[in-house]
Structure 1
Amino acid sequence: MAVRIGTFNIENLLNRFDFTGFRNQLRQDRALRLYTIDSEADYRRLEEARMIASTDDTRQHSALAIADADADILCLQEVESLEALNAFEYGYLYKMVGEGYRQKYLIKGNDSRGIEVAVMMRERTRDGAPIEFIDIRSHAAVTFRDFGLYDEALTATEKPDDRIFRRDCLELDVRIGGKRLTVFVSHFKSMTSPRDGMDGRTATMALRRAEARAVRRIIETRFGQGVTHRNFVICGDMNDYQEKLLISGDRRTGFAFTPTEERESALDVFSGDGFAENVVRRRAPDDRWTLFHARGLEERHLCQLDYIWLSPSLSEANPAAAPDIVRSGQPFRTPFPPGQEVERYPRIGWDRPKASDHCPVVMELHLP
């Protein structure tokens, strides 16, 4: 009996318009900047038309990526509400996979933009084993003081009674063919712009490290001494990496990809002592990336931001398995290392439309 579990940052699955760009150009779409817009009413009308026009292609691509992942349990990031998720599933995903994901779970978390973590599940695995919902818990309210995780590195941006998770750590218990599995879904603090003489990743590292420690504390408290023998996975967009592929060159002369190990990462909290395994590292070093990052031509790399971490029990029970990464929804601006090129979905653009800036990661697991 096997279950396919996946994670996907679906990128801003919203059911509302954002008109703040009329007064704040930093939030204004680049297409609208090409036009002179005289009034807020005109801006709202044009923004609505732009969003509706671009959303249809984007969500067709998102649905194609989810269909190709073919997960029995899919962890999602950047979903505004169950209403938005239901509308997407009925209007787009249903046309590709049928009535595949009837079970959906989302609890409002802490994100200021209202983008939440969520889970969709089939009622049965592809092998026919029932997937039974047992329980769900939110940990959005946990503070640094609650877990004793406040330290000097956080003082510049956080207070002791602030909430740790920028979104949530959603804890979901299921039974699959009679065997228990616990899924922890998170979306860690994003890397911001450089500040205080530090790059954006370094400047936000302390908060992501605290989030990782909090996830680990939740799991260790839940399972106690038997933690290594329990079936759990940690899924989500961790917004950090332990390695990357630096990119040089251009499309005319050719790209070069240089693997680089990071000196430190917030994710060392999981991997440092074998608490959990990042199974994407079972793939070749140049084939682990799930996102293309670029800031002009000066700063370009491919890296892994999207993770499936296995408990020691699941890792031992699946020694030869490796995850799949669905990259057909990536825009054409993303440079692929040699031998990794894939056929893109119809109507994929240079930068947009696309399925997401992230790639789905999915793995088939046997439960001991």
Structure 2
Amino acid sequence: MTLRLATFNIENLMSRFDFSGFRNNLKQDRVLRLFDVKTEAEYQRLEEARTIAYTDDTRQMSALAIADCDADILCLQEADNMAALQAFEYGYLFRMVGNGYRQKYLIEGNDSRGIDVAVLVREETRDGQKIECVDVKSHAGVTYADFNLFNDALALTNVPGDRIFKRDCLELDFRIGGRPFTLFVVHFKSMGPARDGLDGRTATMPVRAAEVAAVRRIVENRFGADHLNGKMFAICGDMNDYQERVDVLGDRRTGYRFEPRQEAESALDVFSHDGFVENVMRRRPELDRWTLFHSRGPLERHLCQLDYIWLSKALAERNPASVPEIIRGGQPYRTIFPMGQEVERYPRTGWDRPKASDHCPVVISLDI
């Protein structure tokens, strides 16, 4: 019995406009800065037109990326609300996959922009096994004090009563062909800009480390810290951190070089240091594990894995030959691919945009 499990940060699947750029240049789209917009009403009219035109191409590509996953269970990050999810499924995804994802789960979380984690589920696996969701639970309300995770590093930006998860940890229990399977879906704190002399990743590391520790606590509370053997679960999502990266050096004229680099510290070490769960992406070659291209210009470019499917020990041991696939056809042309990894982009893909997302979907076939 095979289950196709995928995760995808679909990037701002929104059902509303953001007009804050009229007063805050940092939130203003670059194309509108080319024009002399004199009034807020004029700005809103132009922003509506820009957003609608750009979004149609983007969502066609997002749907193509999801169709290429061919997943039975799809974990999404950055979904605005259920209405946006349903509109996308009906208007775009249906055209690619037909009546695929009839079961949809989304609970409003903590994100200040209103983006949430969501799960789309088929009624049956591709080989005909019934997929039944028997329970859904949000952990958005858990605080640092609840789990005794508050520390001096967090005190710089938080108080003990603050909620741990910047979005949520959504817990779903399934019966797949009658067999139990539990899924935890997350979207951890983004790295953000540099602050207080620290780069964005380092400055926000304490928040993500607490989120990772909280997910582990939730799993251990659920199954018993000493009774995890034999438990079938996975932790999926955009974790906004990495344990390794591939630096991209050189330029287009002279050629590019790709140098792997191990990170001395990562928030995700809490998952991996003692084999609690396995990052199955490490079954792929070292230069071919990335799900995002980061660039702040020629002097700061790297490829890294931000999107994860962590498998419980029992699930990983049952699937020793399963290797995740990375869907990269929706990447913009500015993404620099190591030699041999180039893919055919989706129609109308641009240099920077439109694109399916800044993230690549990840999917794996598992024997449950």
Return the TM-score normalized by structure 2. 0.99
Secondary structure of the structure 1 residue equivalent to 2:257 = strand
**1:63 corresponds to:** 63
> How much does 1:59 deviate?
0.1
Unpaired segments of 5 or more residues in structure 2? none
Q: Residues 82-105 of structure 1: CA distance to partner in whole angstroms, max 9, x if unpaired?
A: 100000000000001000000000
Segment drifting more, 4-13 vs 292-301: 292-301
Secondary structure of the structure 2 residue equivalent to 1:146 = helix
Secondary structure of the structure 2 residue equivalent to 1:175 = strand
Answering whether residue 340 of structure 2 is matched by residue 339 of structure 1, we say yes
**2:255 corresponds to:** 254
Q: Matches of 2:20 and 2:197 in 1, distance apart?
A: 29
Q: Matches of 1:253 and 1:17 in 2, distance apart?
A: 42
> How much does 1:196 deviate?
1.1
> How much does 1:154 deviate?
0.7
Answering whether residue 342 of structure 2 is matched by residue 327 of structure 1, we say no
Q: Matches of 2:15 and 2:110 in 1, distance apart?
A: 18
> How much does 1:205 deviate?
0.4
Q: Matches of 1:160 and 1:139 in 2, distance apart?
A: 16
**1:53 corresponds to:** 53
Counterpart of 1:272 in structure 2: which amino acid? Answer: H
> How much does 1:153 deviate?
1.2
1:1-368 to 2 correspondence within 5 Å? 1-224=1-224, 225-367=226-368
Q: Matches of 1:3 and 1:77 in 2, distance apart?
A: 20
Q: Matches of 1:259 and 1:14 in 2, distance apart?
A: 35
Q: Matches of 2:133 and 2:184 in 1, distance apart?
A: 14
> How much does 1:12 deviate?
0.1
Q: Matches of 2:110 and 2:96 in 1, distance apart?
A: 32
Report percent identity of matched pairs.
68
Secondary structure of the structure 2 residue equivalent to 1:55 = helix
Q: Matches of 1:282 and 1:357 in 2, distance apart?
A: 23
Q: Matches of 1:170 and 1:344 in 2, distance apart?
A: 32
Q: Matches of 1:14 and 1:123 in 2, distance apart?
A: 26
Q: Residues 245-302 of structure 1: CA distance to partner in whole angstroms, max 9, x if unpaired?
A: 0011112221110000000100000000000000011000000000000112111000
Q: Residues 30-62 of structure 1: CA distance to partner in whole angstroms, max 9, x if unpaired?
A: 000000001000000000000000000000000
Secondary structure of the structure 2 residue equivalent to 1:227 = coil
> How much does 1:156 deviate?
0.4
Q: Residues 319-344 of structure 1: CA distance to partner in whole angstroms, max 9, x if unpaired?
A: 01100000000000000001000000
> How much does 1:228 deviate?
2.5
Q: Matches of 1:62 and 1:181 in 2, distance apart?
A: 27
Secondary structure of the structure 2 residue equivalent to 1:229 = coil
Q: Matches of 1:234 and 1:261 in 2, distance apart?
A: 22
RMSD (Å), alpha carbons:
0.5
Q: Matches of 1:49 and 1:119 in 2, distance apart?
A: 30
Q: Matches of 2:294 and 2:65 in 1, distance apart?
A: 20
Return the TM-score normalized by structure 1. 0.99
Q: Residues 106-131 of structure 1: CA distance to partner in whole angstroms, max 9, x if unpaired?
A: 00000000000000000000000000
Q: Matches of 1:312 and 1:123 in 2, distance apart?
A: 27
Q: Matches of 1:71 and 1:250 in 2, distance apart?
A: 37
Q: Residues 211-244 of structure 1: CA distance to partner in whole angstroms, max 9, x if unpaired?
A: 0000000000000132122100000000000000
Secondary structure of the structure 2 residue equivalent to 1:77 = strand
Q: Residues 173-204 of structure 1: CA distance to partner in whole angstroms, max 9, x if unpaired?
A: 11100111100000000001111111100000
